[in-house]
Amino acid sequence: MKNLKPFSLVFLLTLLGNLPAFANTCNSFASYTCSKSTPSIVHFIGTGTTGQSVGILLGSDKFSLTLEGNKSFAGDDLLILAAAPNALTGTVNGVAFTSLSSFPEGGAVGAIQSTWTGLGIVFTSPSFGYANVGTIGGIPMSVTANGVGAGTILYAEVVNPTTGKILYITPNSEAGMLATPEPTSLTLIGTGLIGLAVLLQRQKKLGV
């Protein structure tokens, strides 16, 4: 038992040292400041999981978000933060992204890049931005992305528009990634097209 104590201490210190990787902290950006270092949580509602650090798979350009617990959101604004593997394009609820030089949530970039790597997404020049989509009308909150590239990872923040204080954020595990075709899916599509071409060629030879 005595020999286990040093090991237990090392394990505990390692775990404590890695805690920032498990939960995001709030960072001030643009005109927005943090109400506290770790605000309450905004959850993305997706169609599945990615199996990566960024946990939610958004299988459609239309998705929803919900707030942790039963807390007041009346009059608050919803911000959508985005990290694209290359150029950030498109809109959310009709609002274009404002470019950012870095990602606003502490500890998120490592999780974002590891998720892209794990899913085989090439990120040569990642770009970041945010869009204030306006006052929240109800829960769950509905969001429509238009022209946003596959592989783009989205986080959300709820902000008090009067004070500019960030009240809610999305941690890595609750963030959403817009669906991107898996290599196996692309292979199946290619195989299907080849098969269709062969079938059409045979029918042409037979005069069908």
State the maximum Cα–Cα separation within the chain, in Å, rounded to a whole number. Answer: 85
Q: What mean pLDDT, rounded, does the chain reach?
A: 80
Instruction: Encode pLDDT of 39-72 as tens digits.
Output: 789 999 999 999 999 999 999 999 999 988 656 6
Instruction: Encode pLDDT of 20-42 as tens digits.
Output: 344 568 899 999 999 887 778 99
Q: Is the pLDDT of residue 139 over 90?
A: no
Residue 206: band (very low, low, confident or very high) from pLDDT cuts 50, 70, 90:
low
How much is the pLDDT for 137? 82
Respond yes or no on whether the N-terminal peptide bond of residue 126 is cis (omega within 30° of 0).
Answer: no
The one-letter code for the residue type at 75 is G
Mean pLDDT (whole number) for 103-131: 94
171/22: higher pLDDT: 171
Angle at 63 between CA 38 and CA 47, to 5 degrees: 95
Query: Could you tell me which of 135, 146, 143 has the C-alpha nearest to residue 176?
Result: 143
Angle at 80 between CA 82 and CA 167, to 5 degrees: 125
How much is the pLDDT for 38? 73
How much is the pLDDT for 140? 87
Write out the E strands in the chain.
33-34, 40-45, 48-49, 56-58, 62-67, 77-84, 91-92, 95-96, 98-100, 127-135, 141-146, 153-159, 165-169, 176-178
Burial label for 100, CB within 10 Å (0-12, 13-18, 19+), is middle
Q: Is the pLDDT of residue 190 over 70?
A: no
Contact 167, 68 (CB under 8 A): no
Residue 1: band (very low, low, confident or very high) from pLDDT cuts 50, 70, 90:
very low
7/97: higher pLDDT: 97
- The b-or-e profile of 111-140 (16+ CB within 10 A means b, else e) is bbbebbeebebebeebbbbbbbbeebeeee
Q: Is the pLDDT of residue 180 over 90?
A: no
How much is the pLDDT for 16? 34
The one-letter code for the residue type at 153 is I
**Whole-number Å distance between alpha carbons of 60 and 50:** 14
Residue 188: band (very low, low, confident or very high) from pLDDT cuts 50, 70, 90:
very low
Contact 171, 44 (CB under 8 A): no
Q: Is the pLDDT of residue 5 over 70?
A: no
Contact 174, 118 (CB under 8 A): no
pTM of the model: 0.77
